[in-house]
Structure 1
Amino acid sequence: MESARVTANGIEFAYHEWGDGDRLALCLHGFPDDAGTFDTLAPRLADAGFTVVAPFMRGYGSTGPAPDGDYSASALGRDALALADALGGDLDLVDPIVVGHDWGAVAAYAAATIDPEAFTHLVGMAVPPGFPTNALGHPRQWLRSWYMGFFQLPDLPERALRAEGFALVELLWGLWSPTWDYPEARIESVRETFRTPGTVAAALAYYRQLARGLVARNPFADRDGSGIEVPGLVVAGADDGCIGSELFADVDDAFAADSRAVAVRGAGHFVHRERPAVVAEEVTSFVGR
């Protein structure tokens, strides 16, 4: 794994890189997490012929904050498009794919909506297209998503995240992936990312701006209702305690292009960490080696 920096969409992004294949796999992390989350999946994608790049998302760690304060889904999508363009040119890569987990999946869906020609395939993990609008019809999901409501409060969420050495991060990981025996080094890396000035405020801004956007529209939806025009693979952990499996039932309806939904047994929300070999095989099979 190598670390580097690139400027895209007006932001300087820090990123990790694996492999030297001729295809770009842009891997985008979620919350509460960082770019290191891909360090078990990325080598497997690299072995399949990809150069894998995992940036710290806008506002996270040593990646710069949003210059205009925008942490909306569309801003994340524009980041993904700009990163693919910049990295593809710098590294001389072709046929890019985008792989997103959690908020990274949101960014992938948004990027495919904004520019369907930018990526040959997209992979969304742990968050289905249409969430959270589709959650309105699933009362059990309201309980699972309690933290999203909590994050709308002023001041208290910032203090709660920082309390007791970011114990809330470990609580959420335990609730969302109840059988995952995660390495202490992995969660300590995430704690260190959240200790970076500005990261907590940025991470909460994702949720706060999402809530405001939902008042007017579904921020993950395509513009004209015809469906996402990029072939998509949506991967869920069968034991996810964050987003219920029932919300993945109608994934095909969100796509105008070919799509596939996969539920991975023995995995929760962090499916790519819990079952990296299974996820890598699903990804490489779907996008072509």
Structure 2
Amino acid sequence: MLPRVHDLSLPTHDVGVLEWGPADGRLVVALHGFPDTAWTWRRVAPLLVELGFRVVAPFLRGYAPSGIPADGDYSVRALAADAVALHEMLGGGPDTVLLGHDWGAITTNAVAADPGSPYGAHVSLAVPPLTAMNPSRATLRPWLTAMARQPFHSWYIAANQVPGLSERNFERLTTRLWRSWSPAYDASEDLALLRSAVPDREHARAVVSYYRAMLGSGIKPALAEPVQPLLVLHGDGDRCMEPGLARIAGATIIPGAGHFLQLEQPEAVAREVSRFLA
């Protein structure tokens, strides 16, 4: 099932979107992460459409065909504001769903922490709410084990802080991350789509700036406790975010999936989403 492709205009930039399903279906706004594109939903979206949903996946700010934002803001606060604005622009109602993976999940978690979220349900893939990963006495030992492993996965965050480093080596960096995070998955098609969305250093600088914005106050919305209905899904073979931390956070674990579970196990993801929304 091929999506419809069209553009929307936000105050700071134009947004390219992919859309599947009937115009009168229950709306799902699906946010991708790094280093990825809106095409990451191409396997889950048709399954949700079969259940009567309308799925709209925007390319996040800085990922072509979306524009590079005029305000240069890549904070979680800005990403959450984009998600809220898209709800209105797409005619969302109180039953609209916000679905996010990776940075899209961070954004979803932040929106779910807002008592005024316009979304009726929220689903995060591969990144649980940061507050939910704190250990209790019963989970202290597995938490310590997971935390000892996590720095070996998170080295790229520090690399993305170095001006110019990731921009110059973007293709090599992102190829390595896909292979490391989901080692059993062939990402050839996704990497080709990523090259189209990040065709030059200007776009590469934009998308790694999400990590540079983590050091400012714009990260604060991601540190809040979710207060809205939220489902968290996580692959049991994820090599970006330790599955042990996701278990402590109460995530539903998807067997046979790495970090990109929506591509590796789309049927299982769609099934869990539909159960949650039912």
Say yes or no: TM over 0.5. Answer: yes
Cα contact 2:49–2:55 (8 A) shared by 1: yes
Map 1:254-269 to 2 at 5 A: 261-269=251-259
Query: Structure 2 CA distance, aligned partners of 1:121 and 1:134?
Result: 23
* Per-residue deviation, 1:101: 0.3
Is 2:87 the partner of 1:121? no
Cα contact 1:127–1:243 (8 A) shared by 2: yes
Partner of 2:61: 58
Q: Which runs of 5+ in 1 are unaligned?
A: 253-260
Partner of 1:192: 196
Cα contact 1:9–1:78 (8 A) shared by 2: no
Query: Structure 1 CA distance, aligned partners of 2:154 and 2:262?
Result: 21
Query: Structure 2 CA distance, aligned partners of 1:266 and 1:126?
Result: 14
Cα contact 1:13–1:57 (8 A) shared by 2: yes
Is 2:240 the partner of 1:242? yes
Partner of 2:185: 180
Q: Of 1, 4, 7, which aligns to 1:2?
A: 4
Counterpart residue type for residue 70 of structure 1: D
Partner of 1:274: 264
Cα contact 1:151–1:207 (8 A) shared by 2: yes
* Per-residue deviation, 1:249: 3.0
Alignment partner of 1:63: what SS?
coil
Query: Structure 1 CA distance, aligned partners of 2:186 and 2:123?
Result: 25
Counterpart residue type for residue 8 of structure 1: L
Cα contact 1:267–1:274 (8 A) shared by 2: yes
Q: Give the number of equivalent residue pairs.
A: 266
Alignment partner of 1:220: what SS?
helix
Query: Structure 1 CA distance, aligned partners of 2:131 and 2:264?
Result: 23
Cα contact 1:29–1:100 (8 A) shared by 2: yes
Query: Structure 2 CA distance, aligned partners of 1:112 and 1:218?
Result: 13
Alignment partner of 1:124: what SS?
strand
| 1:69-122 per-position Cα deviation (integer Å, ceiling 9, x unaligned) | 110111111110100111016xxx662100000000011112222354411110
Query: Structure 2 CA distance, aligned partners of 1:115 and 1:199?
Result: 33
Cα contact 1:9–1:79 (8 A) shared by 2: no
* Per-residue deviation, 1:187: 1.9
Identical counterparts, % of pairs: 37
Counterpart residue type for residue 241 of structure 1: R
Query: Structure 1 CA distance, aligned partners of 2:201 and 2:5?
Result: 20
Higher mean C-alpha deviation, range 51-60 or range 113-122: 113-122
Cα contact 1:17–1:54 (8 A) shared by 2: yes
Cα contact 1:102–1:127 (8 A) shared by 2: yes
Is 2:162 the partner of 1:153? yes
Is 2:27 the partner of 1:24? yes
Counterpart residue type for residue 187 of structure 1: L
Counterpart residue type for residue 210 of structure 1: M
Counterpart residue type for residue 155 of structure 2: W
Partner of 1:210: 214
Is 2:43 the partner of 1:40? yes
Cα contact 2:32–2:100 (8 A) shared by 1: yes
Query: Structure 2 CA distance, aligned partners of 1:107 and 1:219?
Result: 8
Query: Structure 1 CA distance, aligned partners of 2:74 and 2:117?
Result: 23
Partner of 1:255: none
Cα contact 2:129–2:226 (8 A) shared by 1: no
Query: Structure 2 CA distance, aligned partners of 1:44 and 1:109?
Result: 23
Q: TM-score, normalised by structure 1?
A: 0.85
Q: TM-score, normalised by structure 2?
A: 0.89
Query: Structure 1 CA distance, aligned partners of 2:190 and 2:149?
Result: 30
Alignment partner of 1:198: what SS?
helix
